[in-house]
Amino acid sequence: MTQAAYGFIHRKTLTRFGLFIVLVAALGGLGFYFRPGNKNAVPTGATFKAFRGPMEIVVLEGGSIEAKDSLQIQSEVQGQTRILKLIEEGYQITQKDVDEGLILIELDSKDLLDKQLAQELEYQSSSASLTEAIEQYDIQLNQNESDIKAGELEVHFARMDLEKYLGASLTDSLLKELGLDQVTESIHNKKLDSSSIDFAQYAHPDKLGDGEARQTLRQLENELELAQEDVGLAETKLEGSRRLFDKEFITKTQLDTDQNTYNRKVIALQSAETHRDLFIKYEFLKLAQKYMSDYEESLRKLERTIKLAHSKEAQSEAKKNSAEARHQLQTRKREDLATQIEKCTIRAPKTGLIVYGTGEQNFRAETIEEGATVRERQVMITIPDTSVMAVRLQVHESFVKKVKPGQKARIRVDAFPGELLTGEVQRIAVVPDSQNRWLNPDQKVYRTLVNIDGEYDWLKPGMSAEAEIITNVLDNALQVPMHAVHLQNEQTVCYVASLFGIETRPVKTGEYNISFIEIQDGLQAGESILLQAPRGARTDGKKEEEKEEGISEGMESGQRSDIPLPSEGQGPDGEGGRGGGGRPTETGMPDGTPAGAPDGAPDGAERGGRPGGDGLSTGAPSGGGGRGPGGQESRSGRGPGGPGHS
């Protein structure tokens, strides 16, 4: 080997050794630079680039599928009864079943049949009583009519007697004076009293009517006149006889005979005068008063007869009405019992699926089975209309003010996780759910119904489902993952990474959804941030320890401990559901992006139409298996902060 070649080799060796020394020094410097606790070190953990884009604000709650409209078959039997026969749950009623009257439920009707037998006896008894009361009422009406007719005839006959004695003209005049010329008025409106009439003034033939009194008075007057004439003739004859006797033309005997005749005629005249005076003074007055009194009494009797007839009619009518009411009551009871017995057999009213009870699954649900006791108006079977389905949710009170009718929603059914359905909020209850208050009085949830768009044969009532209600959409929001925002020294910060080190930068947060939170100030789009705080930053003491413990235990409070509550109008962290309050796991980010994925928007941004996906991956616990602020147990492990699927 020549000296030149040896020199070349020596120089080459020295050069390599120098490069090795420089490399060792550089590695040592880098090791010192990247030593633990150096906050200016280049980041080595998972990072994420803040980006701008549309951001959906959602409320996610779990619930169950139910028909929007359904027919509930209730027990219409009064009181309580037992189920004897019951069609199996899930049976599909066909039109043929409806036409043939398929029996769905048969209730125990033994007690009702016994009551029906006793009621039939009561019904027959009331029917007989009603018939008797009706007949008695008709008889009483007939009797009243007869009594009133008899009374009216008696009044008529009494007036006829009065007219017969006093004459029609005088009778009419007197009755008009007394106000008794109309029978109806005399009965109801006049006080009957004829004692004020002085009948003596009418004791003259010219004043009396053509009646018995006038005839009698005339006869007495005529007899008096004849007696007076007889006395005059007897007196004239006696005077002639006396002159003849004085001249002795007749004997004493003849004179005495004429004297006796004269005396008899005088006595007859006196008798006629007395007879006439007695008639005028006593007989006429007595008979006139008697006939008038008889007429008045006949009017009073007629009035009493009419009132008594009305009273008897009212009593008979009351008995008839009472019998009718009792019979109607017994008839109604008889019909009710027949209807109750008929309602013990419930037949298929329409086509559809058989669901026991109301279809709700809760601790207060009443058992529907053969032999079970059911009460009146208890829902035994529900036949849902599966053409229009809906999701019934329980929205926590912290979110209910954001949910409004008409908002769109995305729905996933647990049994078909690959199917994404759409819907719309129909209504929100105005008061908290009363059933939930029995489980946890401190937690208030509101029943919310979300209609599902379209028809799906595979949807069945009672299936578990989750609905994401889109409450707001931010068009161009700067977004970072929820887990990239931390609390340090009572400030909300992000750890911004660059080639020159890690910068702890305060940020101002805004709205948030399942996986991402809006950054209103402090970051720029494209800046890389750490998903986990550097080791040196986890020295805040008790707060950081409590944060780690809260995250590892499933965040029982339902809120993140490292992010302050959003401003007014926002709910607790993790709103809308999954991943809102969790932290990155070993498998990746909350949206399912692996830890080694490149910077930028996660690959789940296409799922569900929002950045960050739906958070169904294993890296989205937000209280998995835990309890929300109200302590509500959830099958998916979410409180009001949203479910976290493990």
Indicate if the pLDDT at residue 8 is higher than 60. Answer: no
- pLDDT given for residue 448 in this prediction: 94
- pLDDT given for residue 388 in this prediction: 86
Mean pLDDT computed over every residue of the chain: 77
By three-state DSSP, how is residue 92 classified? strand
Distance from chain centroid for Cα 464: 32
Indicate if the pLDDT at residue 12 is higher than 60. Answer: no
Question: What are the CA-CA distances from residue 643 to residues 348, 373, 464, 465, 466 (Å)?
Answer: 41, 39, 14, 12, 10
Mean pLDDT of 189-204: 70
- pLDDT given for residue 518 in this prediction: 93
User: Per-residue DSSP letters for 532-565?
Assistant: S--GGG--STHHHHHHHHHHHTT-TTSS-SSSPP
Q: Which helix (H) or strand (E) holds 390?
A: strand 389-396
Indicate if the pLDDT at residue 58 is higher than 70. Answer: yes
User: Per-residue DSSP letters for 155-200?
Assistant: HHHHHHHHHHHH-HHHHHHHHHHHT-SSHHHHHHT-----TT--GG
- pLDDT given for residue 173 in this prediction: 83
Distance from chain centroid for Cα 478: 52
CA distance 221 to 214: 10
Neighbour count for residue 431 (Cβ, 10 Å): 8
pLDDT tens for 41-52 read: 455 578 899 999
Indicate if the pLDDT at residue 1 is higher than 80. Answer: no
Mean pLDDT of 113-117: 93
Q: Which of 78-87, 196-205, 241-250 has the largest mean confidence?
A: 78-87
User: Cβ neighbours of residue 266 under 8 Å, at least 6 residues apart?
Assistant: 231, 234
Burial readout 565-583 (b: 16 or more C-beta within 10 A, e: otherwise) = ebeeebbbbbbbbbbbbbb
Please give the DSSP secondary-structure letter assigned to residue 536: G
- pLDDT given for residue 149 in this prediction: 93
Contact in structure between 218 and 272 (CB atoms under 8 Å): no
Greater model confidence, 646 or 172: 172
Greater model confidence, 206 or 432: 432
Mean pLDDT of 165-184: 79
Contact in structure between 558 and 511 (CB atoms under 8 Å): no
- pLDDT given for residue 574 in this prediction: 35
pLDDT tens for 471-505 read: 999 999 999 999 899 988 889 999 999 888 888 99
Task: Output the pTM of the full model.
Answer: 0.50
Instruction: Tokens 């060796």: give the residue.
Output: 13
Instruction: Tokens 């006149």: give the residue.
Output: 225
Contact in structure between 53 and 526 (CB atoms under 8 Å): no
Greater model confidence, 518 or 171: 518
By three-state DSSP, how is residue 362 classified? coil
Q: In terms of Cα–Cα distance, which of 560, 581, 570 is closest to 644? A: 581
User: Cβ neighbours of residue 357 under 8 Å, at least 6 residues apart?
Assistant: 365, 366, 368, 379, 380, 381, 382
CA distance 583 to 585: 6
Mean pLDDT of 417-423: 93
Beta bridge partner(s), residue 447? 394
CA distance 264 to 340: 108
Q: Pairing relation of β-strands 70-74 and 416-428?
A: unpaired
CA distance 204 to 510: 129
User: Cβ neighbours of residue 539 under 8 Å, at least 6 residues apart?
Assistant: none
User: Cβ neighbours of residue 133 under 8 Å, at least 6 residues apart?
Assistant: 316, 319, 320, 322, 323, 324
- pLDDT given for residue 45 in this prediction: 72
Greater model confidence, 609 or 197: 197
CA distance 211 to 208: 7
By three-state DSSP, how is residue 556 classified? coil
What's the CA angle centered on 249, arms 245 and 251, to 5 degrees? 60
Indicate if the pLDDT at residue 62 is higher than 60. Answer: yes
For 239-267, give the secondary structure using H, E and C: HHHHHHHHCCCCCHHHHHHHHHHHHHHHH
Per cent of the chain over pLDDT 90 is 38
CB-count exposure of residue 618 (10 Å: 0-12, 13-18, 19+): middle
Taking each helix axis from N to C end, the angle separating 110-166 and 212-246, rounded to the nearest 10 degrees, works out to 20
CA distance 257 to 251: 10
* Strand ranges across the sheet with 379-384: 70-74, 379-384, 355-356
- pLDDT given for residue 23 in this prediction: 59
pLDDT tens for 431-464 read: 888 776 666 777 889 999 999 999 888 888 888 9
User: Cβ neighbours of residue 268 under 8 Å, at least 6 residues apart?
Assistant: 227, 230, 231
- pLDDT given for residue 193 in this prediction: 64
Hey, what are 260's tokens? 């006796």
* Poorest-pLDDT segment among 27-31, 75-79, 518-522, 595-599: 595-599
Q: How confident is the model at residue 557 (pLDDT cuts 50, 70, 90)?
A: very low
pLDDT tens for 84-114 read: 999 998 898 999 999 999 999 999 999 999 9
Beta bridge partner(s), residue 80? 375
- pLDDT given for residue 312 in this prediction: 94
By three-state DSSP, how is residue 326 classified? helix
- pLDDT given for residue 147 in this prediction: 94
pLDDT tens for 586-608 read: 333 333 333 333 333 333 333 33
pLDDT tens for 261-312 read: 999 999 999 999 999 889 888 888 888 889 888 988 999 899 999 999 999 9
Contact in structure between 518 and 55 (CB atoms under 8 Å): yes
pLDDT tens for 213-256 read: 888 888 888 888 899 998 999 889 889 888 888 888 888 898 88
Indicate if the pLDDT at residue 379 is higher than 80. Answer: yes
